[in-house]
Structure formats: C-alpha cells, structure tokens
Amino acid sequence: MVRGFAASTLLMLSGCGPAETPASTAAETTSPACPTGSPLPITGLCSDGSAPLFRAIDSGIETFAPRCVWRTEEVSLSPAEALVFRAQNCSGEGWDHMLYSHVAGYLKVRQSSLPEADSGFALQIIPLATGETAEQAALKTLDKALGGQRDRCEVRLLTRRKLAGRAFALAPNAELEAELNAANPDEPWDACGPNGVTMDAVQFWEGRKYHALFHMLGQDTPFWDPASFTFYRKGNDGVWSKSD
C-alpha cells in the first residue's frame, strides 16, 4: 500500500468540516505581471501562493510554524500541461525545502536533503478517456484488488472533503466491511486494492472533468494543500490557462 509524505496527524477517510467553495473569480489566464513573489519557470505564475491561482484552496489549513509560508508549486506533465498547487515552504524555520516531481503519472515529494529514491507519493494522476468518468477510471484499478473483493467494492461519495472536484472512495460494500471488521477486531485493514481504502492512512479519489486523481496523504498532514491542485494548459499563443 503506497503512503503519502507528510508532517502531522490527519483524520481518517471522511475528513472534517464542510465543503469549501472554490476560490476563483479572478482571471482564468496568467498575468504578465507578478506583483509579489517571482514568476515560476514553466507557467510564469507568481510564486506567492495567491488563492486565485487555484481552482480551490482549503483556507482552514494552518501553517506548521510561524515562519512557514504558502508558495506556488508547479510540475510539468507535458510540454503543454502543468499541475499547479500551493504548498508550505518552511525554509524560514530552517527546515528542508520540499521538492516535487512528476514521475510516470505520480506526483512525488521529498526533502531537498534526501535522494530521489526516498521520494514519497502524493498524488496519482489518471487522464480520462473521452466520455469516461473518474469513477469509471477508479473502478478499473480493482483488477489489483484481492480476487474475493473485486465484486464487493463500490464507489462511495465523500461529502466532507475540501476539494475542487468531487470526492469519493473505492470502499467495501456493507457485507464485506462487516466481514473485515469481524476478522480484524483490533487491527487496521485494507480493502479494494492499493487504490481502495486503508485504516492505516488517508487516501481517496477526486473526480475532475479531464482527470481522475488519487490522493495519498498518508497518516499525517501534508505540506501541500490537496484542494489546490489545478491543471494549466498552454495555448497556441504561449499563454497558460486554467483547465480542470
């Protein structure tokens, strides 16, 4: 079971708090001016972590320490597509800077002092086929589940996650869940494959227009804001604009 890379304890699968309204009424395209911070090398977006840069943010997330600040991060998915999000930079506290990279469909993260082999998983990014839903893409991952579970897992909506898209999980149906609880009364259990649920960590799906996202937050609060993941596409004029 893959685990996210994080920093302090998070609640389990259902999350907490009401869904947050996406933070974006500003212009959908990048501005040539960057009044605060500095332009990022791929999209030219400002590095200041400003809320209008993202489809949504979770404004309830507190920084880990007084000198931690929100900064804009970006990774290239292709020459014409980038994933942009906000994350805490705690270099002011003397902490290692976090480095983010896109590798084979995954967003990976590591401390700058660690080798790339020690990277953790933050997000799986699955482009959707024409007419395909995120739920349909998620169900395909059940081929990695235990044979006895594949037909006993279902899509379960999560209504209390703060995300730009719709949150859901691949979870055991009522019968399978009762069996797992009975067989593991004092131990955590996993179900529905590596993209399903585990009582050991926080992981869930998010549906977007063009992508299915599998969030892997692990056991602790991550440095990044899961609500802020925003796709940008580069137009023929060279301008980067929000996608989904």
The domain ranges of the chain are 8-236
Q: What is the DSSP string of 171-232?
A: EE-HHHHHHHHHH-TTS--EESSTTSEETTSEEEEEE-SSEEEEEEEETEE-SB-GGG-EEE
Q: What pLDDT was estimated at residue 101?
A: 97
Q: List the one residue out of 62, 114, 112, 110 whose CA is nearest residue 88.
A: 62
Q: What is the three-class DSSP state of 48?
A: coil
Q: What pLDDT was estimated at residue 25?
A: 34
Q: Which residue has the tokens 């023929």?
A: 236
- Maximum distance among all alpha carbons in the chain? 60
Q: List the one residue out of 85, 76, 87, 62 whose CA is nearest residue 5.
A: 87
Q: Which residue has the tokens 């990044």?
A: 224
| Cα–Cα distance for residue pair 225/85, rounded to 1 Å | 7
pLDDT in tens, the chain (244 residues): 433 444 433 333 333 333 343 443 333 444 456 777 799 999 999 999 999 999 999 999 999 999 999 999 999 999 999 999 999 999 999 999 999 999 999 999 999 999 999 999 999 999 999 999 999 999 999 999 998 999 999 999 999 899 999 999 999 999 999 999 999 998 999 999 999 999 999 999 999 999 999 999 998 899 999 999 999 999 999 999 999 9
Buried b (16+ CB within 10 A) or exposed e, 156-185: bebeebbbbbbbbbbbbeeebbebbeeeee
